[in-house]
Amino acid sequence: MHSIWAVAANTIKQALRMKIAAAFIILLMVLLPVMSVLMTGDGTLKGRLQSFVSYGLSLTSFLLCLLTIIISIYSVTTDIEQRQIYTVITKPIRRSHFLLGKLLGVILLDVGLLVLFAGIIYAITICIPVFLGKVLGVILLGEASLVLFGAIIYAITIHVRFLWKALGVTFLSLALLGMVSFLVYKIAIYTPDLTLITESELAEANNEFFTARAGLTPGKVDVGQEVEETYEKLKKTGQIEVFFPGLSARDIRAQLTVQEKLRKRAVPVGRRLVWKFDNVKPTDPNGSLFIRFKYEVSVNPPDMKVYGQWLVGDLRPILYGTKIETPIFRSDRIDGDLVRTFHEIEVPAQVVAKDHYLGVVFINVPLNDTVVIFPLEDGLEVLYKADTFTGNYIRAVLLILFRLIFLASLGILASTFLSFPVAMLLCLVLFVIASFSVFFVGTFDYLSLGVGTLYSYSFKWIIRLLPQFDTYNPNKFLVPGRFIGWFLVGKAAGFMVCIKAFLLFVLALVIFSFREIAKIVV
């Protein structure tokens, strides 16, 4: 164990003192505050917050990914190429411990940097609503605190041997940080606002950004039987060839399934559609629920609006005549809602039944002249606040950390049998593929319809083995204020770290233990 820590500490020192990490740190230190000022999004407070968080986190994640790849590869390959490993590996340290130490060092450095930068992004995000308009204040505070933060970290890591020195610098920096923050705060308070944040903008930001809302979508409907019936009927009447010329039975069934599902979500005039949700657990019973929906129509109304009536609550008393225990919320959308755009209805959370049941009813009022359809993917969703923004943010950062851990293992694996430039190239390519896995899979699925077998046994396999960074992209959740469940985090941890990173690392251990360390290949 001692030796693992020794190697880990040495790896961190190497990364910091060889100034590899420094370049990345400085870049982020400069870019993040600048971005906080420049990223305005759509101009509203919410838009500004969304664009800052998404770009800030993306940039941080991207740079840290690069850094992880570089450091993990550099630190193993230089040890081998410059032969420091001769003196290390002949000490009582197992080869596996050597690699573990390297991995641990890279991960610890990642954790440190991630905490630092995620902390900075968080602080700036929280500050934006307070200081917005007092641009000067934001810049000053941001820059000053970042520089001082940097000084603290630098002092602690580089001069760790001289503890008193590190403590001195830390203390001084903290004192300075306090003074500067106080000054900036004073300046900000007394300078007039350049941009006025309206109450409604603030409310919007709080409801839709500074939150972690869980979304419930209606359960999947099984339409297998209906599809079979229709299919048989078409076949009997010989209409298959008419409607689906030249398609295979599987493709026809797939098309029929979509049609059938859409039919279940279509509401003719004067009819109603009922959704039932079973597991609605808002954190705050006195808070709000949100019904988020999007209309699709068969015939475009003249004003492009649909006038619907919504009922939300425990509908069982009405349907089965039991005792009414919770209120039922009713919303008549007399102003109408534009089709093909998202709308939200805020509903008090009290309407949820004691057993977490919630019913939602949409009534297509006769005022409309068209069938209203709720798109399959995102036609209707029940949103409720499941956690705070902070909790959500922490989980988002965890998702990024898993990525880094995976890349660290990948880098170490590559450097057990490749030289620095080759290993770098390999890892960068794999990193890009993992980052755009959905895109790659989609494109290649399309392009390789003809060469199916070759593709599905080679490239597709590689993509499967790589983690899908894009499916676990935290911005997908943070920007719309969606709840990142622990289940998702667990899944990401399981797949990316416990399975994939672990396998890579085991492979690295195997290769490394059978490798002739002193073999020189020119």
Partner 1 sequence: MEYAVETFSLTKIFSGWWGRGKVYAVDELNLQIRYNEVFGLLGPNGSGKTTALKMLLGLLFPTKGRALCLGGDGADPKINARIGFLPEESYLYKYLSARETLDFYGRLFALPTKVRRMRTEALLEMVGLKAVANRAVGTFSKGMARRIGLAQALINDPDLLILDEPTTGLDPIGTRQIKDLILKLAQRGKTILLCSHLLADVEDVCDRIAILYGGRIQTQGQVKDLLQQSNKRQITTDAISDAAVEKIKRIVHDERADCVVTSPMDKLETFFIKTVEAAQQQAQPTSGAVSTTQIGGFLAKEVPVENILDKLISAPVSAESSPGSETTEPVVPAESSGPQPDEQLLSRLAEPTKPTEPKGVVSEEEAGTESVEPESGREQESPKSILESLTDRPKTEHEDKEQTGDNQGEPGNA
Ligand X SMILES: Nc1ncnc2c1ncn2[C@@H]1O[C@H](COP(=O)(O)OP(=O)(O)O)[C@@H](O)[C@H]1O
From the list partner 1, ligand X, none, which binds 203 (C-beta under 5 to 8 Å, kind-based)?
Answer: none
Residue with tokens 């917050």: 49
* DSSP 3-state of 478: helix
H/E/C letters for each residue in 146-159? Answer: HHHHHHHHHHHHHC
Measured N-to-C along each axis, helices 45-81 and 95-131 cross at an angle, to the nearest 10 degrees, of 160
DSSP string across 189-238? HHSPPSSPPPHHHHHHHHHHTSSEEEEE-PPPP--HHHHHHHHHHHHHTT
For tokens 């590689």, name the residue.
462
The reply on whether position 519 binds ligand X by CB under 6 A is yes
Q: How far is the CB of 520 from ligand X (least distance, A)?
A: 4
The interface partner of residue 13, options being ligand X, partner 1, none and the CB cut-off 5 to 8 Å by kind, is partner 1
Three-class SS state of 347? strand
- d(CA 54, CA 51) in angstroms, rounded, equals 5
Smallest gap, in angstroms, from Cβ of residue 172 to partner 1?
22
Measured from the CB atom, the residue of 242 and 521 that comes closer to ligand X is 521
Contact between 297 and 306 under an 8 Å Cβ cutoff? The reply is: yes
Q: Is 520 in the site for ligand X (CB under 6 A)?
A: yes
Which range touches partner 1 (CB under 8 A), out of 171-179, 307-315, 428-436, 510-518?
510-518
Q: Which does 18 bind (CB under 5 to 8 A by kind): ligand X, partner 1, none?
A: partner 1
Q: Between 87 and 248, whose beta carbon lies closer to partner 1?
A: 87
Per-residue x/- track, 461-500, ligand X (CB under 6 A)? ----------------------------------------
Shortest distance in whole angstroms from residue 178 CB to partner 1: 31
How many residues interact with ligand X (rule CB under 6 A)? Answer: 2
CA distance 100 to 310: 58
Q: Which of 161, 220, 236, 250 binds partner 1 (CB under 8 A)?
A: 161
Complex with partner 1: residue 471 or 513, whichever CB lies closer: 513
DSSP states along 413-433 = HHHHHS-HHHHHHHHHHHHHH
Where is 48: in which H helix or E strand?
helix 45-81
Tell me the torsion sign for CA atoms 38, 39, 43, 48: negative
Residues 64-123 that bind partner 1 (CB under 8 A): 82-94
Q: Which of residues 376-415 bind partner 1 (CB under 8 A)?
A: none
Nearest approach in angstroms of CB 98 to ligand X is 21
Instruction: Quickly count: other Cβ atoms within 10 Å of residue 320's Cβ.
Output: 7
CA 237 to chain centre: 50
Restricted to residues 246-305, the positions that interact with partner 1 (CB under 8 A) are none
The item of ligand X, partner 1, none sharing an interface with residue 302, based on CB under 5 to 8 Å by kind, is none
Residue 291 CB neighbours (<10 A):
21
Minimal distance in Å, beta carbon 111 to partner 1?
21
Q: Residue 438 or residue 517: which is nearer to partner 1 going by CB?
A: 517
Q: Is 10 an interacting residue with respect to partner 1 (CB under 8 A)?
A: yes
Nearer to ligand X, 365 or 517 (CB): 517
Answer with the entry of partner 1, ligand X, none that 17 interacts with (C-beta below 5 to 8 A by kind): partner 1
Measured CA angle at 46 (ends 403, 312), to 5 deg? 95
Decide whether 299 or 520 has the Cβ nearer to ligand X.
520
Residues that bind partner 1 (CB under 8 A): 2-3, 5-7, 9-10, 13-14, 17-18, 82-94, 161, 516-519
Residues that bind ligand X (CB under 6 A): 519-520
